[in-house]
Structure 1
Amino acid sequence: MTRTFIFLFLMIFQVTDLYAQSVKPAWYRYYDSRGIPNISTNVTPNHIRYGYEALDQNMQVIQRNRAYNSEADIKQAPQRAALAKKNEADLKLKKAYSNSQVALQKRNDALLYIKKQIAFQQEQLKQLQNDRIYFKRQQLEHLRKVETVPVALKNKIDYNQKNIEVKKELIVSLHTQYDNTQLYYDKIIARLKLLE
């Protein structure tokens, strides 16, 4: 008995709700500052200022609309702008990557490329350091024999030292680039997972 009653109640509620949604407003009513109702067939600026009710042909309320509050609207403008900017950024992410798996693959490819660059630069640094050992041994040999170190050897040592410093800076820069790339893609992947 109770289940039947609940079922009938829900059916009546749904039919009433569908009827209310399908009914088009015939009148619009607002109450002015003195509480006097004003009715018209269209929405006027006063309707928006005071808030209004949409009425069907039988003068039954089918929808209520709150009064427009310019102060609240002004206060919410930065929030709406931020939300619009965020939605635009989300659309760009979806367009660029379509989903988190694509972004994950792009991240892995980018990180692999940087790792290869780091390995290559480290090999070159190792070669420069071996060259430095060789040049220093030659310099020590000249000094041991109490000979003047040739200018060409001094230039090679200076040039080698500068190249070692440049390679070290480049390797540090590549490590920073690796970390920044990982962080960049991790944010994108996390955001795309939320949007999926």
Structure 2
Amino acid sequence: MSTFFAKSLAVKLKQNKQSLKLGMLALLLLSSAPLMADSQNKAVWYRYYDQHGVANISSNVTPNHIRHGYEALDRNMQVIQRARPYNTEMDIKKAPQRAAQAYQMESDQRLKKAYTNSQTAITKRNNALAHIKKQIIFQQEQLKQLQNDRITFKRQEMEYLRKVKPVPAQLKTNLDNNLKNIELKKDMIQSLQTSYRNTQAEYDRIITRLKALE
């Protein structure tokens, strides 16, 4: 009885050992599968066809590969990636477009750095326009005062002329200076109004671009 029990126990232990070995082998195979897949998917050879249709294979990419376009092959010579031929003429034609895109990207970065977002730009625009508007109002008030002064000077001049008296030199000087100051104020107001329009247009462009980037 004890002999039979011992034999049964030995058989079970042997079966357990075999099962354990099979399990460990399965785990090793499963764990190595991704590595094998990665190894197989890795480019080992690079093949291009020349103008005569002849295949050329090397372990690295050469200028000829780039010129003709090439295929990346794994260790089993299976194509895993294709690269288009490099077209010099097309590249030259696209150079201005790439330059414009690079300039736009650089400009966008400057806008983001300066304003962060469109709302910040709107606030700065409103502040800038309010400042210019304040200057315009101030200059307009001064212009109005100069125009009122001119009315007074002209009345004085007319009074002298009515009485057939010579117009005093000081009054003539006042009239001349007044006219010059009026013209200067008008030019200044016009310049400020132009600045207002340009500032508004520039900020509108900036705000529109920032909104497009958001």
Counterpart Cα distance in 2 of 1:60 and 1:105: 60
Matching residue of 1:144: 162
User: What is the one-letter code of the residue matched to 1:134?
Assistant: T
Summarize the alignment of residues 1-196 of structure 1 with structure 2, pairs less than 5 Å apart. Answer: 23-196=41-214
SS at match of 1:106: helix
Counterpart Cα distance in 1 of 2:143 and 2:168: 25
Larger Rg: 2
Query: Structure 1 residues 137-146 or 147-156, which shifts more?
Result: 137-146
Matching residue of 2:8: none
Counterpart Cα distance in 1 of 2:42 and 2:142: 78
Q: Deviations over 1:131-167 (max 9, x none)?
A: 1111111111111222111000010011001111111
Counterpart Cα distance in 1 of 2:146 and 2:42: 83
User: What is the one-letter code of the residue matched to 1:161?
Assistant: L
Q: TM-score, normalised by structure 1?
A: 0.86
Counterpart Cα distance in 2 of 1:193 and 1:23: 43
Query: Structure 1 residues 107-116 or 75-84, which shifts more?
Result: 75-84
Counterpart Cα distance in 1 of 2:106 and 2:42: 34
Q: Deviations over 1:18-60 (max 9, x none)?
A: x78x932111111112212111111011111110011122221
Counterpart Cα distance in 1 of 2:53 and 2:66: 15
**Unmatched tracts of structure 1, length 5 or more:** 1-18
Q: Please state how far the C-alpha of 1:100 moved relative to its aligned partner.
A: 0.8
The alignment's C-alpha RMSD in Å is 1.4
Could you tell me the percent identity over the aligned residues?
Answer: 67
Number of aligned residue pairs: 177
SS at match of 1:28: strand
Counterpart Cα distance in 1 of 2:116 and 2:84: 39
SS at match of 1:85: helix
Q: Please state how far the C-alpha of 1:180 moved relative to its aligned partner.
A: 0.5
Runs of 4+ with deviation above 3 angstroms: none
**Unmatched tracts of structure 2, length 5 or more:** 1-36
Counterpart Cα distance in 2 of 1:156 and 1:23: 93
User: What is the one-letter code of the residue matched to 1:38?
Assistant: N
Counterpart Cα distance in 2 of 1:166 and 1:69: 61
Counterpart Cα distance in 2 of 1:111 and 1:155: 37
User: What is the one-letter code of the residue matched to 2:206?
Assistant: I
User: What is the one-letter code of the residue matched to 1:109?
Assistant: N
Counterpart Cα distance in 1 of 2:77 and 2:102: 38
SS at match of 2:111: helix
Q: TM-score, normalised by structure 2?
A: 0.79
